Amino acid sequence: MKNIVLIGYMGAGKTTVGAVIASYSGLGFIDTDKYIVNRVHRSIKKIFEEDGEKTFRRMENRLCRFLQHQDNLVIATGGGVILNDDNMWRLKGNSVVVYIKNNIKTLYERAKKTETRPLARDYGEFIKRFVDREPLYEKYADIIINAEYKSVRDLAGEIVFAV
Ligand code: S3P
């Protein structure tokens, strides 16, 4: 079976929903941020602070090149994966891409809670980045799911049904 790739902004719930989709569907699960963190034994925050965003993006790109050859996976991506067109066409080759869409206030409330997101500090910048990126999430999505006011289980069920 093709992979299910979850895209969306920080705080969309890609990791949480992805794990539930995997348990419903029997597919494997990979979270690209967690994979990178485990691989280099440093938090995303540390990678950004010590090596900069560019290095993190290179790690993300390398992982996408690997994932294009995999199947039967639910893949929860980092919110910035859509910044690289090559990544997205690689992933799309073997996947259904689902954009988990939320409103910006919900996203910020969730994203700012965790220390781990270096790009979720200032609300103004958070909004600006979202406005820049939203057309890209929509461009690469095969399916767009509105997640607002839905439980994780309902959302996971809706995605399994839609793909
Ligand atoms: C990022 C999102 C984060 C993580 C990194 C950069 C982004 O992932 O990859 O902090 O550029 O949107 P989540 O979307 O899981 O928070």
HSE of 94 in the Cβ direction (CA atoms, 13 Å)?
A: 17
CB of 83 shorter than 6 A to ligand 1: no
Q: Each residue's pLDDT tens digit in the chain (163 positions)? A: 899 999 999 999 999 999 999 999 999 999 999 999 999 999 999 999 999 999 999 999 999 999 999 999 999 999 999 999 999 999 999 999 999 999 999 999 999 988 789 999 999 999 999 999 999 999 999 999 999 999 999 999 999 999 9
Q: Which residue has the tokens 């992933």?
A: 91
Domain boundaries, the chain: 3-158
- Whether 145 and 101 have beta carbons less than 8 Å apart is answered as yes
CATH number, domain 3-158: 3.40.50.300
Beta bridge partners of 31: 76
CB of 60 shorter than 6 A to ligand 1: no
Write down the ipTM of this complex. 0.98
User: What's the rounded Cα separation, in Å, for the pair 131 and 150?
Assistant: 23
Atom of ligand 1 at shortest range from CA of 116: 10
User: What's the rounded Cα separation, in Å, for the pair 9 and 77?
Assistant: 10
- Ligand 1 centroid vs 25 CA: distance in angstroms? 25
pTM: 0.97
